[in-house]
């Protein structure tokens, strides 16, 4: 047998292992599933059980080496064959030389670092050494300037080097001596008679207030941090989104309700709540949640525009559901397009408690066929109907509490190729007694049917027992608008 994750055995041509010559074989008779714990065998048709070592298989059982399996009239011996490992001769290659070179480089680097650490105090310039060097440099500079002044006869500019001279305020050079008639020298007119430069007059006439550089800074208001309530709401919303991604919808809704209670105006939580309600097929409550957003979001808010758009879209979707035609005849699986496939529907009965007399959970998987590219953006709807029956075997849709049908999954295959499908059937305490009083006939659980639509095209169908497929598809009446 070829080992793969899931292997279906039966008479259906789409099974991985087809046994057409066995008349006692169901279309999908058994399933082999391999995971990390081993290979497990499950029976897919309760009316035609599978035997393992002479014992019927009631659930998923792990197979052991040399188990004898009876699938219809076919006998199979399961052998868990593991290919022997080939003994490999060790080859050092370049690993050891490379490791040796790397170790030698590390040792050399450590030695250089140790030498530096030992010698580093001698390589540091101390503050007193730096001050002495600067003083010596000033002395040398002054000596060189004095020697230059002695040679040229000019005044040293070093003394005035720290004075900032503004343009137009340069000191006026001393007046030159005018030769006298007798050969002597007469002093030039006093500098006071010369008009002062324009920049000096401007500075004299201006009345500038000196700048106070000791002004105490005003304490500005601190940058406001995020509102603790909003910050907590954001963290809780992230937890709710993560819970929904792992299909823990009960935890997701609990966290969202916690946000609504603590921060009622936190609109992202309301948007996520509406999205999850629609994903779970509860279009009425999703419509109500968008209505609440309309009452909270301010005018001009993008949340308000989104709420108006989503309410219109949900109204059109509810109208579309009511227009889907009911098919009185039994759907022929061979004639269905089967772009969307229904896989592994299983019903599990849960224990009763003080409030619930009976509870069943239906789990299945929807898969997109490999060649169904045209339908990856189609809106998927799933009609799940649970049936009860009276003592005469007359089946009718149950009055118990069930997952709202149809379940509108939207364009769920736009970014994935499989999606889990879940539905519940809950009988509260006292419901059966109430039905007996009203109808005079007792009822009990009978079965369920599943019809998968892409747009308005039926893709796949399943019913247990099979005769429920002959009944019309039950389309609940659309809820009246408030």
Find the mean pLDDT for residues 316-333: 57
Same domain? 357 vs 465? yes
Q: Are 283 and 408 in contact (CB under 8 A)?
A: yes
- Determine contact, residues 30/78, Cβ cutoff 8 Å: no
Question: Distances in Å between the alpha carbon of 460 and those of 92, 343, 369?
Answer: 59, 10, 11
Give yes or no: residues 312 and 358 share one domain: no
CATH number of the domain to which 314 belongs: 1.25.40.10
CATH of the domain at 31: 2.60.200.20
Gap between the Cα atoms of 367 and 417, Å rounded: 6
Q: Average pLDDT over the chain, rounded to whole?
A: 77
Domain of 407, CATH number, reads 2.60.40
**Are 365 and 271 in a shared domain?**
no
For position 77, what pLDDT does the model report?
85
Q: Looking at 299, 323, 347, which one is the last position of a domain?
A: 323
Are the CB atoms for 72 and 29 separated by under 8 Å?
yes
Residues 314 and 337 in one domain: no
For 416, the domain range is 333-470
Q: Which of 78, 103, 135 is the last residue of a domain?
A: 78
Q: How far is CA 302 from the centre of its chain?
A: 22
User: With contact defined as beta carbons under 8 Å apart, do 474 and 407 qualify?
Assistant: no
Element (H, E) at 280: none
Residues facing 366 on adjacent strands: 342, 419
The region, left, alpha or beta by phi > 0 then psi within -120 to 50, assigned to residue 430 is left
pLDDT of 375 reads 65
Does a structural domain hold residue 223?
no
DSSP sequence for 112-138? HHHHHHHHGGGGSPPHHHHHHHHHHHH
Lowest mean pLDDT among 180-194, 267-281, 355-369: 180-194
Q: Are residues 341 and 314 in the same domain?
A: no
Specify the range with the lowest mean pLDDT, choosing from 101-110, 149-158, 181-190, 418-427.
Answer: 181-190
- Which residue among 78, 106, 137 closes a domain? 78
- 293 shares its domain with 372: no
Q: How many domains does the chain have?
A: 3
**Would you state the structure tokens that stand for residue 95, as one six-digit string?**
């690993």
Q: State whether 350 and 296 are in the same domain.
A: no
Residue 347 lies in a domain: yes
Residue 127 covered by a domain: no
Statement: residue 230 has pLDDT above 70 = yes
Cβ(16)–Cβ(4) below 8 Å? yes
Specify the pLDDT at position 188.
46
pLDDT at 362 over 90: yes
Q: What is the pTM of this model?
A: 0.38
pLDDT tens sequence across 402-424:
998 888 888 888 788 899 999 99
Q: Nearest to residue 177, comparing CAs of 167, 187, 165, 164?
A: 187
User: Is 371 a domain residue?
Assistant: yes
């Amino acid at each position: 047998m070829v080992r793969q994750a899931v292997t279906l055995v039966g008479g259906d041509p789409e099974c991985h292992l087809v046994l057409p010559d066995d008349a006692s074989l169901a279309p999908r008779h058994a399933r082999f599933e391999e995971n990390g714990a081993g290979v497990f065998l499950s029976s897919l048709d309760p009316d035609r059980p599978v035997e393992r070592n002479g014992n019927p298989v009631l659930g998923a059982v792990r197979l052991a080496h040399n188990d004898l399996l009876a699938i219809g009239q076919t006998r199979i011996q399961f052998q868990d064959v593991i290919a022997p490992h080939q003994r490999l001769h060790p080859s050092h290659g370049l690993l050891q030389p490379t490791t040796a070179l790397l170790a030698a480089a590390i040792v050399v680097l450590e030695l250089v670092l140790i030498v530096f650490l030992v010698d580093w105090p001698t390589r540091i310039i101390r503050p007193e050494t730096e001050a002495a060097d600067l003083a010596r440099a000033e002395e040398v500079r002054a000596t060189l300037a004095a020697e230059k002044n002695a040679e040229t006869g000019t005044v040293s500019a070093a003394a005035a080097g720290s004075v900032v001279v503004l343009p137009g305020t340069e000191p006026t050079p001393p007046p030159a001596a005018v030769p006298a008639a007798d050969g002597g020298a007469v002093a030039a007119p006093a500098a006071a008679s010369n008009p002062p430069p324009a920049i000096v007059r401007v500075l004299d006439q201006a009345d500038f207030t000196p700048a106070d550089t000791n002004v105490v800074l005003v304490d500005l208001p601190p940058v406001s941090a995020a509102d603790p309530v909003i910050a907590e709401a954001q963290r809780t919303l992230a937890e709710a989104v993560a819970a929904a991604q792992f299909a823990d919808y009960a935890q997701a809704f609990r966290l969202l309700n916690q946000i609504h209670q603590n921060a009622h105006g936190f609109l992202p939580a309301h948007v996520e709540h509406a999205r999850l309600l629609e994903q779970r097929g509860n279009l009425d409550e999703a419509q109500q949640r968008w209505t609440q957003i309309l009452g909270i979001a301010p005018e001009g808010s993008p949340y308000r525009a989104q709420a108006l758009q989503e309410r219109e879209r949900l109204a059109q979707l509810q109208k579309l559901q009511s227009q889907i035609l009911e098919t009185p005849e039994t759907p022929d699986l061979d004639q269905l397009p089967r772009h969307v496939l229904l896989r592994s529907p299983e019903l599990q009965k849960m224990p009763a408690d003080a409030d619930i007399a009976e509870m069943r959970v239906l789990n299945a998987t929807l898969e997109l066929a490999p060649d169904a590219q045209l339908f990856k953006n189609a809106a998927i709807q799933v009609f799940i109907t649970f049936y009860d029956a009276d003592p005469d075997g007359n089946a009718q849709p149950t009055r118990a509490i069930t997952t709202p049908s149809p379940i509108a999954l939207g364009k769920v295959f736009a970014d994935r190729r499989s999606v889990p499908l879940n539905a519940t059937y809950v009988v509260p305490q006292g419901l059966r007694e109430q039905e007996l009083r009203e109808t005079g006939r007792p009822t009990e659980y009978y079965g369920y049917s599943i019809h998968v639509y892409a747009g308005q095209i039926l893709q796949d169908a399943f019913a247990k027992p099979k005769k429920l497929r002959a009944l019309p598809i039950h389309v609940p009446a659309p809820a009246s608008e408030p």
